[in-house]
Amino acid sequence: MKVNTDMNMSMNMNEVEAISRLYAALAAQVHKVVVGQDQVLQQLVAALLAGGHVLVEGVPGTAKTLLARALGRSLELSFGRIQFTPDMLPADITGTHIYAGDGRFRLQPGPIFNNLVLADEINRTPPRTQAALLEAMQEAKVTLNGETIPLPQPFMVIATENPVEFVGTYPLPEAALDRFMVRITIAYPAPSEEVEILQRLTSAPSSETLLGQIEPVATAEDVAEARRSLARVVIRRELLQYAAQLVAATRQDPRVRLGASPRAGVLWLQFARAMAALQGRDFLTPDDLRDTALQVLGHRLLLYPDARLEGDTVRDVIDAAFSSVEVPR
């Protein structure tokens, strides 16, 4: 997606309002099931419109899966769910060719062949199976027995994971983490929200009943049109230089073994301008980069063990980067 730096090609207010209406419609449907989590939902929709994939992390029982399913129901797109387990094989994700009985083999597609794919508890399966997602997430295609098959568009993976210190989990390798545009952490709800959750789920037979109330309010073309509009969000050249300097600063920090890649910078700008559009603006500001830095860069930074032992975190590295680079005016 080309970064627009031409003021004459910026979004008009109708496009900005259309994206705001799209988000409001999706949020209204999701909130029939999910209480609160407004910021998480906004980040999910921003990633969808920016063409990225999302890793959602949180302890069990914080509605990670429910949120992804509710968003899927709100979109008139095909939806697939992969429940990851330790014994899952790559073919369980991508599918395989089976003998058709007439001397030919036909494709039996796996759940990856959907617009929106929920990869539930992705860190419950070994790296070999996790790797089956890499080509799909990067190139929107799958290669089976030498045949390359494109995936439907739009295509998005929402993966959920529990913290790696929980029993029976496998840390995602760096190559897999880098495929995710953002990592979002879901926290426990506020006390008032938890009361509302209890009231809803004790009044309804099940969460499935609540999900059944959701109506699709956006089509593939709506998503495609929003993506075309985002390409016209203005990013001044000074902000491009600012983002590049910040990314470079993460690599130069002595506490960091693996800094942010050039891909991280590209995805950062795409996600930040989607967030700006959802907030009703057709231009990017330095604050947009600061507000989205941890979600985009945090899971890409790998600290040295000594730094972790000293109590340093990726947030400390990101804060140091912002402190070392002058903000453009």
pLDDT at residue 55, rounded to an integer: 93
> What pLDDT, on a 0 to 100 scale, did the predictor assign at position 8?
39
56: Cα separation from own chain's centroid: 8
pLDDT value at position 43?
93
Spatial contact of 253 and 21, defined as CB atoms under 8 Å apart: no
pLDDT of residue 316: 94
* The predicted structure's pLDDT at residue 319: 95
Structural domains of the chain, ranges and CATH numbers in brackets = 35-218 (3.40.50.300)
pLDDT in the model for residue 205: 66
Whether 51 contacts 1, CB under 8 Å:
yes
Tokens 């031409």, residue located: 6
pTM of the model: 0.86
Two tokens, residue 61: 């029982």
Q: Is 225 exposed, middle or buried (0-12, 13-18, 19+ CB in 10 A)?
A: middle
DSSP string of 22-45, one letter each residue: HHHHHHHHHTTT--S-HHHHHHHH
C-alpha 276/C-alpha 289 separation (Å) is: 10
Burial class from Cβ neighbours inside 10 Å (0-12, 13-18, 19+) for residue 81 reads: middle
3-state SS, residue 190: coil
**Half-sphere exposure of 292 toward its Cβ, with a 13 Å CA cutoff?**
29
pLDDT of residue 7: 39
DSSP β-bridge partners for residue 109: 95
pLDDT of residue 2: 41
Report CA 200 to chain centroid distance, whole Å: 27
Contact between residue 144 and residue 107 where contact means Cβ atoms under 8 Å apart: yes
At 290 the pLDDT is 95
Indicate the DSSP class of residue 121: T
Low-confidence ranges of the chain (pLDDT < 50): 1-8
Residue 241 C-alpha from the chain's centroid: 25
| Contact (Cβ atoms closer than 8 angstroms) between residue 61 and residue 99 | no
Calculate helix-pair angle for 262-278, 38-50, nearest 10 degrees: 120
The one-letter amino acid at 201? L
Q: Which of 46, 67, 78 is nearest to 216 (CA)?
A: 78
Residue 45 burial by Cβ neighbours in a 10 Å radius (0-12, 13-18, 19+): buried
Say how many C-beta atoms besides its own lie within 10 A of residue 12's C-beta: 11
